[in-house]
Chains A and B, each alone.
Chain A
């Protein structure tokens, strides 16, 4: 597609369940980013991939969060044993290079009950 595609758009899970969020970046974009956006706040960095290599995961809040991009294209953000504080919008962005402007998808709104 022309833009960054994320699925699902909405996800409701019970506390303790595992969830997986998918990001399909713009074709040809080498760099892929995940951000977490709490209600009323700006996005906060989670992790960064250059092709299949995860170059920075300093923003992942705990070891329950795991991201992968095995073939350097589609990426999955997995959250294990979800907790209520994980409720947020998870945004994916891609760019042609690490320091080029990032283009965002519309996010996945995650609600943990």
Chain B
């Protein structure tokens, strides 16, 4: 089935550093979404992207919808301890179904 390849699988960084993670696929996506999940909780929506080339920011977070529609990246600037968690990319392949395809997640740890 369709798959999203998300990288890196995990990151361990110093507080204050910038972070970048990305997702790629062999399939074309109509939307890209980035979620953050904390232990014992459901994924929380961070950013939604709807058009190829779109660049959207939410505070210290910036995400882009790749021109080819097969990739997306998420950047976090000036990381803080509460950024710790698992980040998932997700997207819709078809406009006819609400089914979201998820990446495998990037685990972020921040050292104070």
Contact present for A91 and B43 (CB under 8 Å): yes
Contact present for A107 and B97 (CB under 8 Å): no
Report the Cα distance A104→B35, complex, angstroms: 10
Number of CB contacts from chain A to chain B under 8 A: 68
Number of interface residues of A (CB under 8 A): 29
Report the Cα distance A33→B97, complex, angstroms: 11
Contact present for B42 and A98 (CB under 8 Å): no
Once A99-B30, A99-B31 are accepted as A-B contacts, the answer to whether A45 and B100 lie under 8 Å apart by CB is yes
Contact present for B42 and A45 (CB under 8 Å): no
Number of interface residues of B (CB under 8 A): 26
Contact present for B44 and A43 (CB under 8 Å): no
A76 within 8 A of B: no
Q: Residue of A at shortest CB range from B38?
A: A106
Report the Cα distance A87→B39, complex, angstroms: 17
A75 within 8 A of B: no
How distant is B37 from chain A, measured CB to nearest CB, in Å? Answer: 8
Chain A residues with CB under 8 A of B97: 48, 55-56, 98
B95 within 8 A of A: yes
How distant is A47 from chain B, measured CB to nearest CB, in Å? Answer: 9
Contact present for B99 and A101 (CB under 8 Å): no
A48 in complex: contacting residue of B4, B99, B102, CB < 8 Å: B99
A31 within 8 A of B: yes
Contact present for B43 and A43 (CB under 8 Å): yes
Can you list 13 contacts pairing A with B, beta carbon distance less than 8 Å? A4-B42, A33-B99, A40-B105, A42-B102, A43-B88, A45-B99, A45-B100, A56-B98, A58-B99, A95-B98, A101-B33, A104-B43, A106-B40
